[in-house]
Amino acid sequence: MLKHLPAPDFSTITFDYRGFGDSDGERGRLVPAMQIDDIISVVNWAREQPSLDAQRIGLWGTSFGGCHVFGAAVRDPGIKCIVSQLAFCRR
């Protein structure tokens, strides 16, 4: 799906949370606060890239990431939009 998103005025960044995929860290550890920290770190990195518009940053998260984009947007008011796909909640 990601290959269909980029348009001439969009850039996309994907990453692995710490401990998942190619990232360092304790394997498979699910700590939402740490994963939101990881998202914020990626957003801060993106803001430092001269080729990216730091005023137009949005997030897309799926499943657990779909929950985390809400927390990241609350912590960083510079995040302009979020897409939360297949997020879940507990009643």
What does the pLDDT look like over 57-91, one tens digit per residue?
999 999 999 999 999 999 999 999 999 998 887 76
Helices (H), 1-91: 32-47, 64-75
Per-residue pLDDT at 51: 92
* Percentage of the chain exceeding pLDDT 90: 73
Mean pLDDT, residues 44-64 taken together: 94
Q: Is 30 a residue whose pLDDT tops 90?
A: no
Q: Residue 69: how many CB atoms within 10 A of its CB? A: 23
Dihedral (C-alpha) 82, 87, 90, 91: value to the nearest 10 degrees? 80
- C-alpha 45/C-alpha 14 separation (Å) is 12
- For the whole model, what pTM was predicted? 0.86
